[in-house]
Amino acid sequence: MTERSWKRKYQWRLTWPGEADEDWAAYDGDLYIGRIHRDKTSLKAGMFIWAGGCSSWWEFERPMPQSGHEAEAWEAAKRVEDWYDEGVARTGPKPEAVSQRIADLKERGRKFGW
């Protein structure tokens, strides 16, 4: 597969807008599903680290491995999306309770100016 043949399924945003330009987070609606960023410190420096998320979906069955390295950003992003899709296939559709948890967290964060 090449970068041109792969199409993103989920929304990707800069993790820290205005700070790091090689650090992105993926979302399925409001649900954080994973992150990629360039490795700057390990023996694999220069590669992209990918990691699965879904911390607000407690029942989510996380596939293994849950993180790794890829040479290109698009490959790491594909790994995050494939990881999430595999977890959804195991767990079933995202329940409405997950969206409610996220909304509750956002509301609590506003109280503290987050």
E strands within the chain?
A: 11-14, 23-28, 31-38, 48-52, 67-70
> Could you tell me if residue 86 is inside a domain?
yes
pLDDT at 4: 76
Q: What is the pLDDT of residues 10-63, one digit of tens each?
A: 999 998 888 878 999 999 988 999 999 999 999 999 999 999 999 889 899 999
User: Does 6 fall in a domain?
Assistant: no
Q: Which domain holds residue 74?
A: 11-111
What the block records as the tokens of 8 is 């993103």
Inside any domain, residue 61: yes
Residue 4 within any structural domain of the chain: no
In a domain? residue 83: yes
pTM score of the predicted model:
0.85
Residue 101 lies in a domain: yes
Count other Cβ atoms within 10 Å, centred on residue 45.
Answer: 9
- In a domain? residue 5: no
Q: How confident is the model at residue 66 (pLDDT cuts 50, 70, 90)?
A: very high
CA dist 93 and 72 (Å) reads 30
Q: Number of folded domains in the chain?
A: 1
39, part of any domain:
yes
What letters, b where the CB count within 10 A reaches 16 and e where it falls short, cover 79-92? bbbebbeebbeeee
Round the average pLDDT of the chain to a whole number and report it: 89
Identify the residue with better confidence: 98 or 89: 89
What's the mean pLDDT in 80-91?
97
Q: Note the pLDDT of residue 3.
A: 66
The CA distance from 114 to 108, in Å, is 9
* Per-residue confidence (pLDDT) for residue 114, from 0 to 100: 55
Cα 32 to Cα 15, 35, 90: the distances in Å are 11, 8, 18
